[in-house]
Protein backbone atom coordinates (compact mmCIF):
# COMPACT_ATOMS: atom_id res chain seq x y z
CA UNK A 1 0.00 0.00 0.00
CA UNK A 2 1.30 3.44 -0.85
CA UNK A 3 1.67 5.93 1.97
CA UNK A 4 -1.07 8.09 0.44
CA UNK A 5 -3.40 5.11 0.40
CA UNK A 6 -2.59 4.33 4.03
CA UNK A 7 -3.34 7.93 5.08
CA UNK A 8 -6.65 7.77 3.25
CA UNK A 9 -7.57 4.46 4.88
CA UNK A 10 -6.72 5.90 8.31
CA UNK A 11 -8.74 9.04 7.61
CA UNK A 12 -11.74 7.00 6.57
CA UNK A 13 -11.42 4.74 9.62
CA UNK A 14 -11.28 7.84 11.86
CA UNK A 15 -14.37 9.21 10.10
CA UNK A 16 -16.34 6.01 10.58
CA UNK A 17 -15.25 5.85 14.23
CA UNK A 18 -16.79 9.30 14.73
CA UNK A 19 -20.04 8.20 13.03
CA UNK A 20 -20.11 5.17 15.31
CA UNK A 21 -19.76 7.33 18.43
CA UNK A 22 -22.51 9.72 17.29
CA UNK A 23 -24.86 6.81 16.54
CA UNK A 24 -24.07 5.14 19.84
CA UNK A 25 -24.83 8.30 21.81
CA UNK A 26 -28.17 8.67 20.05
CA UNK A 27 -29.21 5.02 20.03
CA UNK A 28 -27.95 3.76 23.38
CA UNK A 29 -30.55 5.57 25.56
CA UNK A 30 -33.39 4.57 23.20
CA UNK A 31 -32.14 0.99 23.01
CA UNK A 32 -31.76 0.76 26.77
CA UNK A 33 -35.34 1.93 27.29
CA UNK A 34 -36.76 -0.61 24.84
CA UNK A 35 -34.57 -3.37 26.29
CA UNK A 36 -35.62 -2.54 29.85
CA UNK A 37 -39.27 -2.85 28.88
CA UNK A 38 -38.65 -6.53 28.11
CA UNK A 39 -36.76 -7.24 31.33
CA UNK A 40 -38.18 -9.01 34.37
CA UNK A 41 -38.62 -6.56 37.28
CA UNK A 42 -35.48 -7.58 39.13
CA UNK A 43 -33.28 -7.11 36.07
CA UNK A 44 -34.58 -3.60 35.31
CA UNK A 45 -33.11 -2.08 38.45
CA UNK A 46 -30.16 -4.43 38.82
CA UNK A 47 -26.83 -2.80 39.60
CA UNK A 48 -24.44 -3.14 37.89
CA UNK A 49 -26.85 -2.93 34.91
CA UNK A 50 -27.30 -6.26 33.25
CA UNK A 51 -27.63 -7.33 29.65
CA UNK A 52 -28.19 -10.98 30.44
CA UNK A 53 -31.83 -11.65 31.16
CA UNK A 54 -34.68 -13.75 29.86
CA UNK A 55 -36.90 -11.43 27.77
CA UNK A 56 -40.48 -11.25 28.96
CA UNK A 57 -43.72 -9.58 27.90
CA UNK A 58 -44.82 -9.39 31.53
CA UNK A 59 -44.43 -5.57 31.70
CA UNK A 60 -46.69 -5.12 28.70
CA UNK A 61 -49.19 -7.69 29.96
CA UNK A 62 -49.42 -5.82 33.26
CA UNK A 63 -49.72 -2.48 31.49
CA UNK A 64 -52.69 -3.62 29.46
CA UNK A 65 -54.42 -5.40 32.35
CA UNK A 66 -53.87 -3.02 35.30
CA UNK A 67 -54.40 0.33 33.55
CA UNK A 68 -56.68 1.28 30.64
CA UNK A 69 -53.66 1.70 28.39
CA UNK A 70 -55.55 0.90 25.21
CA UNK A 71 -58.06 3.63 26.10
CA UNK A 72 -55.18 6.14 26.55
CA UNK A 73 -53.75 5.11 23.18
CA UNK A 74 -57.13 5.51 21.47
CA UNK A 75 -57.51 8.93 23.14
CA UNK A 76 -54.14 9.96 21.72
CA UNK A 77 -55.19 8.79 18.25
CA UNK A 78 -58.53 10.65 18.48
CA UNK A 79 -56.88 13.88 19.65
CA UNK A 80 -53.94 13.76 17.22
CA UNK A 81 -56.17 12.61 14.34
CA UNK A 82 -58.91 15.15 15.07
CA UNK A 83 -56.55 18.08 15.44
CA UNK A 84 -54.75 17.04 12.25
CA UNK A 85 -58.07 17.04 10.40
CA UNK A 86 -58.98 20.49 11.77
CA UNK A 87 -55.47 21.71 10.90
CA UNK A 88 -55.85 20.45 7.31
CA UNK A 89 -59.31 21.98 6.83
CA UNK A 90 -58.10 25.38 8.02
CA UNK A 91 -54.51 25.28 6.79
CA UNK A 92 -54.75 23.91 3.24
CA UNK A 93 -57.08 26.62 1.83
CA UNK A 94 -55.13 29.30 3.70
CA UNK A 95 -51.84 27.97 2.32
CA UNK A 96 -53.22 28.09 -1.21
CA UNK A 97 -54.26 31.73 -0.71
CA UNK A 98 -50.87 32.68 0.73
CA UNK A 99 -49.08 30.99 -2.16
CA UNK A 100 -51.39 32.19 -4.95
CA UNK A 101 -52.07 35.77 -3.83
CA UNK A 102 -48.68 36.24 -2.13
CA UNK A 103 -50.35 37.52 1.05
CA UNK A 104 -47.89 36.60 3.78
CA UNK A 105 -49.21 38.17 6.94
CA UNK A 106 -51.65 35.37 7.86
CA UNK A 107 -48.74 32.92 7.79
CA UNK A 108 -46.67 35.19 10.04
CA UNK A 109 -49.66 35.64 12.34
CA UNK A 110 -49.84 31.88 12.85
CA UNK A 111 -46.24 31.92 14.08
CA UNK A 112 -46.91 34.33 16.96
CA UNK A 113 -48.70 31.53 18.76
CA UNK A 114 -45.61 29.39 18.21
CA UNK A 115 -43.48 31.84 20.25
CA UNK A 116 -45.80 32.25 23.25
CA UNK A 117 -45.57 29.83 26.16
CA UNK A 118 -48.49 27.41 25.82
CA UNK A 119 -49.57 28.26 29.35
CA UNK A 120 -50.42 31.80 28.28
CA UNK A 121 -53.35 30.52 26.22
CA UNK A 122 -54.02 27.63 28.54
CA UNK A 123 -54.97 29.91 31.47
CA UNK A 124 -57.88 31.57 29.60
CA UNK A 125 -58.84 28.29 27.93
CA UNK A 126 -58.97 26.63 31.32
CA UNK A 127 -61.24 29.34 32.77
CA UNK A 128 -63.47 29.23 29.70
CA UNK A 129 -63.54 25.45 29.41
CA UNK A 130 -64.47 25.11 33.09
CA UNK A 131 -67.33 27.59 32.71
CA UNK A 132 -68.59 25.89 29.54
CA UNK A 133 -68.08 22.40 31.01
CA UNK A 134 -65.68 21.56 28.20
CA UNK A 135 -62.83 20.18 30.28
CA UNK A 136 -62.44 16.45 29.80
CA UNK A 137 -63.94 16.64 26.30
CA UNK A 138 -62.32 15.68 23.01
CA UNK A 139 -63.63 18.96 21.56
CA UNK A 140 -61.44 21.08 23.85
CA UNK A 141 -58.38 18.91 23.28
CA UNK A 142 -58.78 18.70 19.50
CA UNK A 143 -59.34 22.46 19.13
CA UNK A 144 -56.39 23.39 21.35
CA UNK A 145 -54.09 20.89 19.65
CA UNK A 146 -55.14 22.39 16.30
CA UNK A 147 -53.30 25.53 17.47
CA UNK A 148 -50.17 23.35 17.08
CA UNK A 149 -51.16 21.56 13.87
CA UNK A 150 -52.64 24.42 11.81
CA UNK A 151 -49.37 26.42 11.44
CA UNK A 152 -47.50 23.23 10.49
CA UNK A 153 -50.03 22.41 7.76
CA UNK A 154 -50.04 26.02 6.60
CA UNK A 155 -46.26 26.33 6.29
CA UNK A 156 -45.74 22.90 4.78
CA UNK A 157 -48.47 23.41 2.19
CA UNK A 158 -47.23 26.87 1.21
CA UNK A 159 -43.99 25.39 -0.11
CA UNK A 160 -45.86 22.58 -1.90
CA UNK A 161 -48.35 25.00 -3.52
CA UNK A 162 -45.44 27.28 -4.47
CA UNK A 163 -44.03 24.34 -6.45
CA UNK A 164 -47.24 23.92 -8.49
CA UNK A 165 -46.69 25.76 -11.80
CA UNK A 166 -48.85 28.90 -11.96
CA UNK A 167 -49.61 28.23 -15.63
CA UNK A 168 -51.34 24.96 -14.84
CA UNK A 169 -53.78 26.61 -12.47
CA UNK A 170 -54.22 29.64 -14.70
CA UNK A 171 -55.08 27.56 -17.75
CA UNK A 172 -57.72 25.68 -15.78
CA UNK A 173 -59.15 29.07 -14.77
CA UNK A 174 -59.18 30.21 -18.39
CA UNK A 175 -61.02 26.99 -19.26
CA UNK A 176 -63.85 28.29 -17.13
CA UNK A 177 -63.06 26.50 -13.90
CA UNK A 178 -64.08 28.45 -10.79
CA UNK A 179 -61.25 29.02 -8.34
CA UNK A 180 -62.69 26.39 -6.00
CA UNK A 181 -62.64 23.90 -8.86
CA UNK A 182 -59.08 24.86 -9.80
CA UNK A 183 -57.97 24.21 -6.22
CA UNK A 184 -59.90 20.97 -5.86
CA UNK A 185 -59.18 19.48 -9.27
CA UNK A 186 -55.73 20.90 -10.09
CA UNK A 187 -53.79 22.38 -7.17
CA UNK A 188 -54.60 19.82 -4.48
CA UNK A 189 -53.95 16.72 -6.64
CA UNK A 190 -50.63 18.24 -7.77
CA UNK A 191 -49.71 19.04 -4.16
CA UNK A 192 -50.98 15.67 -2.85
CA UNK A 193 -47.57 14.56 -1.53
CA UNK A 194 -47.59 17.78 0.51
CA UNK A 195 -50.91 16.85 2.08
CA UNK A 196 -49.49 13.49 3.11
CA UNK A 197 -46.40 15.15 4.59
CA UNK A 198 -48.51 17.79 6.38
CA UNK A 199 -50.81 15.09 7.77
CA UNK A 200 -47.95 12.99 9.12
CA UNK A 201 -46.13 16.00 10.59
CA UNK A 202 -49.27 17.32 12.30
CA UNK A 203 -50.05 13.92 13.73
CA UNK A 204 -46.54 13.57 15.17
CA UNK A 205 -46.53 17.04 16.76
CA UNK A 206 -50.02 16.67 18.17
CA UNK A 207 -49.27 13.17 19.51
CA UNK A 208 -46.14 14.50 21.22
CA UNK A 209 -47.72 17.63 22.70
CA UNK A 210 -48.03 17.43 26.45
CA UNK A 211 -49.05 20.65 28.21
CA UNK A 212 -52.62 21.25 27.01
CA UNK A 213 -53.82 17.74 27.79
CA UNK A 214 -52.04 17.86 31.15
CA UNK A 215 -54.56 20.50 32.23
CA UNK A 216 -57.60 19.97 30.00
CA UNK A 217 -57.88 16.17 29.85
CA UNK A 218 -59.86 14.20 32.37
CA UNK A 219 -60.39 10.54 33.21
CA UNK A 220 -62.01 9.61 29.90
CA UNK A 221 -59.90 11.72 27.56
CA UNK A 222 -56.35 11.29 28.94
CA UNK A 223 -53.88 10.75 26.10
CA UNK A 224 -50.81 8.54 26.35
CA UNK A 225 -48.41 11.45 27.11
CA UNK A 226 -50.31 12.48 30.23
CA UNK A 227 -50.89 8.87 31.28
CA UNK A 228 -47.16 8.21 30.99
CA UNK A 229 -46.42 11.28 33.08
CA UNK A 230 -48.89 10.16 35.75
CA UNK A 231 -46.98 6.88 35.96
CA UNK A 232 -43.86 8.86 36.85
CA UNK A 233 -45.70 11.32 39.09
CA UNK A 234 -47.49 8.73 41.18
CA UNK A 235 -44.14 7.33 42.15
CA UNK A 236 -45.04 3.98 40.65
CA UNK A 237 -41.68 2.33 41.06
CA UNK A 238 -42.28 -0.42 38.56
CA UNK A 239 -39.58 0.69 36.17
CA UNK A 240 -40.25 -2.12 33.74
CA UNK A 241 -43.81 -0.91 33.17
CA UNK A 242 -42.58 2.66 33.00
CA UNK A 243 -40.17 1.76 30.20
CA UNK A 244 -43.00 -0.12 28.47
CA UNK A 245 -45.13 3.05 28.46
CA UNK A 246 -42.20 5.13 27.22
CA UNK A 247 -41.64 2.65 24.38
CA UNK A 248 -45.30 2.59 23.34
CA UNK A 249 -45.46 6.38 23.55
CA UNK A 250 -42.36 6.93 21.42
CA UNK A 251 -42.95 4.24 18.80
CA UNK A 252 -45.75 5.77 16.67
CA UNK A 253 -44.05 9.16 16.13
CA UNK A 254 -40.73 7.42 15.44
CA UNK A 255 -42.21 5.19 12.76
CA UNK A 256 -44.08 8.12 11.21
CA UNK A 257 -40.95 10.29 11.27
CA UNK A 258 -39.08 7.71 9.22
CA UNK A 259 -41.83 8.05 6.58
CA UNK A 260 -41.41 11.79 6.18
CA UNK A 261 -37.66 11.95 6.88
CA UNK A 262 -36.22 15.34 5.98
CA UNK A 263 -39.67 16.93 5.93
CA UNK A 264 -39.70 16.68 9.70
CA UNK A 265 -36.82 19.14 9.94
CA UNK A 266 -38.40 21.46 7.39
CA UNK A 267 -41.75 21.24 9.14
CA UNK A 268 -40.21 22.16 12.47
CA UNK A 269 -38.39 25.15 10.97
CA UNK A 270 -41.53 26.72 9.46
CA UNK A 271 -39.93 27.44 6.12
CA UNK A 272 -36.80 28.98 7.65
CA UNK A 273 -34.68 26.18 6.21
CA UNK A 274 -35.09 24.07 3.10
CA UNK A 275 -34.31 20.44 3.78
Partner 1 sequence: MGPAGAAAARPRRSRWGISPAVWLLSPAIAFVVLLTGFPFLYAIYLSLNRFLFGGNPAFIGLGNYAQMARDPVFWSGLRVTFVLYVGALAAQLVFGLYVGMLLNRPLRFARVLRTILLSPFAMPSVAVGMMWLILLDPSFGSVNFLLQLVGLPKSLFLASPSLVVPTLAVIDTWQWTPFVALIVLGGLQSLPREPYEAAVIDGASATQLFWWITLPLLRPALLAAAILRSVDLLRFFDTIYVTTQGGPGQASTTLNIYAYQQGFQFFQLGYASALMLTLLATVLIVVMALTSLRRVIA
When binding is defined by CB under 8 A, the residue of 71, 215, 236, 238 that contacts partner 1 is 215
Task: Verify binding: residue 249, partner 1, rule CB under 8 A.
Answer: yes
Task: Verify binding: residue 33, partner 1, rule CB under 8 A.
Answer: yes
Task: Verify binding: residue 218, partner 1, rule CB under 8 A.
Answer: no
* Spatial distance between the Cα atoms of 199 and 260, rounded to a whole number of angstroms: 10
Contact between 203 and 259 under an 8 Å Cβ cutoff? The reply is no
E strand or H helix at 157, and its extent? helix 138-162
Task: Verify binding: residue 74, partner 1, rule CB under 8 A.
Answer: no
Contacts with partner 1: how many residues (CB under 8 A)? 101
Task: Verify binding: residue 27, partner 1, rule CB under 8 A.
Answer: yes
When binding is defined by CB under 8 A, the residue of 4, 47, 175, 176 that contacts partner 1 is 47
When binding is defined by CB under 8 A, the residue of 3, 52, 101, 234 that contacts partner 1 is 101
Q: How far is the CB of 47 from partner 1 (least distance, A)?
A: 4
Contact between 260 and 176 under an 8 Å Cβ cutoff? The reply is no
Task: Verify binding: residue 104, partner 1, rule CB under 8 A.
Answer: no
Task: Verify binding: residue 184, partner 1, rule CB under 8 A.
Answer: no
Q: How far is the CB of 192 from partner 1 (least distance, A)?
A: 18
Q: How far is the CB of 83 from partner 1 (least distance, A)?
A: 11
Q: How far is the CB of 117 from partner 1 (least distance, A)?
A: 5
Question: Does the N-terminal peptide bond of residue 200 adopt cis geometry, omega within 30 degrees of 0?
Answer: no
Task: Verify binding: residue 19, partner 1, rule CB under 8 A.
Answer: yes
Contact between 241 and 59 under an 8 Å Cβ cutoff? The reply is yes
DSSP per residue over 43-106, as a string? HHT-SS--S-----SHHHHHHHHHS-HHHHHHHHHHHHHHHHHHHHHHHHHHHHHHHHH---HH
DSSP per residue over 190-238, as a string? HTHHHHHHHHHHHHHHHHH--HHHHHH--TTT--HHHHHHHHHHTT---
How does 148-185 read in b/e, with b if 16+ C-beta sit within 10 Å? bbbbbbbbbbbbbbbebeeeebeebeeeebeeeebbee
Q: How far is the CB of 30 from partner 1 (least distance, A)?
A: 6
When binding is defined by CB under 8 A, the residue of 2, 52, 65, 102 that contacts partner 1 is 102
Q: Which residues in 129-158 contact partner 1 (CB under 8 A)?
A: 130, 143-144, 146-147, 150, 154
Task: Verify binding: residue 40, partner 1, rule CB under 8 A.
Answer: no
Task: Verify binding: residue 267, partner 1, rule CB under 8 A.
Answer: no
Amino acid sequence: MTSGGRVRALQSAWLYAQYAVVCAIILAPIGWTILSSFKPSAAVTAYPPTLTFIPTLENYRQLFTTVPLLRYGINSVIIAGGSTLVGLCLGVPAAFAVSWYQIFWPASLSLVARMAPGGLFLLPWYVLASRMHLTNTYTALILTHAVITMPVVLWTMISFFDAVPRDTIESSLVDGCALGGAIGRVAIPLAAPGIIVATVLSFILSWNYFLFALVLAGLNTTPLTVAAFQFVGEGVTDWGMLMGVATLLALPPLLLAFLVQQWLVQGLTFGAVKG
